[in-house]
Structure 1
Amino acid sequence: MGEAAEGLELRRDDEGLALVGDGMVLRADFSRLLPRLRADRIGRELLVRAARTRGVATPTAVDATAGLGEDSLLLAAAGFTVTMFERDPVIAALLSDALDRAANDSQLADIVARMTLVEGDSVAGLRELGFSPDVVFLDPMFPERTKSAAVKKKFQLLHHLERPCEDEEGLLAAALAARPRKVVIKRPPKGPWLAGAKPSHSLMGKAVRYDVIVPPPSSR
């Protein structure tokens, strides 16, 4: 389908769209997450626990750094209607292809129907939403995660396309400007706070930490 970046190429085969390069193949595939989406498991997901909004029947979320959409899928499976922003056109193409394939899968169709992809920069998009989401989710890449030893092999291809967040303050400010009930930020267990902003509380897992910022009600 043409060059995605130097040494990388987008190719389509019977399994869908894939990014190929460096002897690796990267394809967004929601079906592999099906065991985690079961009703008896989804509520135990750390991200879902961090994003949970009590008293909201039909919660909304914005995933400002969608990537391959797996975190958004977990939120959608938990009942959120999710708007996803992805600024890199190649990653957005992979995610769009995964959504199309999942829409034809009876086990995933109802979930992905609650997911909408917007190709573009979330900093601008968050300020032009037109509604106040219940949750804004941020998973910005940062330098510590770009070292090959610190990332799963299949995600090394993504690091050829995505650069570490260069404006943490701008990203967090845009998230808060959307007037959500909470901002949930994905971090490594020992990683620094995003933009140095102390969270209201954090949920700690073995491989990840979720910092939760709850703005005062007056800011909504």
Structure 2
Amino acid sequence: MTFDDNMLPAIDDPAVSLVRDERGLALVGEGMELRCDLAGMLPRIKPGRLSHELLVRAARAKGVDQPRAIDATAGFGEDALLLAAAGFHVQLFEHDPVIAALLADGLARAAADPQLSPIVARMRLTSGDSVQALAARASMDVAKPDVVYLDPMFPARQKSAAVKKKFQLLHHLEAPCTDEEGLLRAAIACGPRKVVIKRPAKGPYLADIKPSYSIDGKAVRYDCIVPASMKL
């Protein structure tokens, strides 16, 4: 999906605005700017490094030639890019229209980059509520995803200027989905082989549902729910 300048979403908060310049679309305010720049992910998708990414390890679908994933909380698309680089065809959902516009712009610019274009060709963005989309998908005669990925926003522990800038500007936008149980139940209902959930390393389980197993990192962990092996 793409947004031309006549279709850009309105922002209720006058402290921030969407601005397009020679580098693409940006969210601007408080003397800062924020844009989707997938080129910054190139070092992480290099051969030899990609396979060590915890998300890629958590999402791995054994025995599937062309795995399918749904990223139900797409944000700026970095995690979806990792999945696409690992061979997944990824359907991205982003409920906030401003973030979706920034992501669509980032994907369009990435499509013009020879190193990224074959990867983003496997990524398809929908602006809208993923809970409703997943719930509707459960009753449709469509291929089931191998993985549904969830990354509900949680308070960042990192102290870097980039993280501070991101969250300082994003707090001007619509609040993220707070119905954690509804999001997880909808993800499970659409019939994936597994649901992968990004959490703080020492944070609680999403919706207090214990996963089948977890892959732990220093700052985050990935909880993996395999519906076929659990009573849900």
**TM-score relative to the length of structure 2:** 0.88
SS in 1 for 2:152: coil
CA distance in 1: counterparts of 2:128 and 2:29, whole angstroms? 24
Aligned residue runs from structure 1 range 35-50, under 5 A: 35-50=43-58
CA contact (8 A) 1:12 1:18 kept: yes
1:119 to 105, 122, 127: 127
180-189 vs 34-43, which deviates more? 34-43
2:195 to 158, 165, 183: 183
1:80-139 deviation digits (Å, cap 9, x = unpaired): 000000011100000000011011110000000000000000001112333310000000
Q: 1:204 and 1:146, CA in 2 relative to 1: closer, same or farther beyond 3 A? A: closer
Q: Which stretches in structure 1 are left out of the alignment for 5+ residues?
A: none
1:153 to 164, 167, 171: 164
Aligned residue runs from structure 1 range 102-141, under 5 A: 102-129=110-137, 130-141=142-153
152-161 vs 199-208, which deviates more? 152-161
1:45-82 deviation digits (Å, cap 9, x = unpaired): 00000000110111000000000000000000000000
CA distance in 2: counterparts of 1:184 and 1:160, whole angstroms? 28
Structure 1 residue 162, shift from structure 2 partner: 4.6
1:12 corresponds to which residue?
Answer: 20
Amino acid at match of 2:228: P
1:25 corresponds to which residue?
Answer: 33
**TM-score relative to the length of structure 1:** 0.92
CA distance in 1: counterparts of 2:67 and 2:29, whole angstroms? 39
160-169 vs 14-23, which deviates more? 160-169
1:55 to 59, 63, 86: 63
Q: Which stretches in structure 2 are left out of the alignment for 5+ residues?
A: none
Q: Is 1:96 aligned to 2:96, yes or no?
A: no
1:192 to 196, 204, 208: 204
CA contact (8 A) 2:80 2:90 kept: yes
What's the Cα RMSD here? 2.1
Q: 1:18 and 1:207, CA in 2 relative to 1: closer, same or farther beyond 3 A? A: same
SS in 2 for 1:68: coil
Identity of aligned residues (%): 61
Aligned residue runs from structure 1 range 154-169, under 5 A: 154-156=165-167, 157-169=169-181
SS in 1 for 2:178: coil
Q: Is 1:82 aligned to 2:90, yes or no?
A: yes
Q: 1:148 and 1:211, CA in 2 relative to 1: closer, same or farther beyond 3 A? A: closer
CA distance in 2: counterparts of 1:153 and 1:24, whole angstroms? 11
- The aligned length equals 217
Q: Is 1:202 aligned to 2:210, yes or no?
A: no
CA distance in 2: counterparts of 1:194 and 1:26, whole angstroms? 28
Structure 1 residue 20, shift from structure 2 partner: 0.5
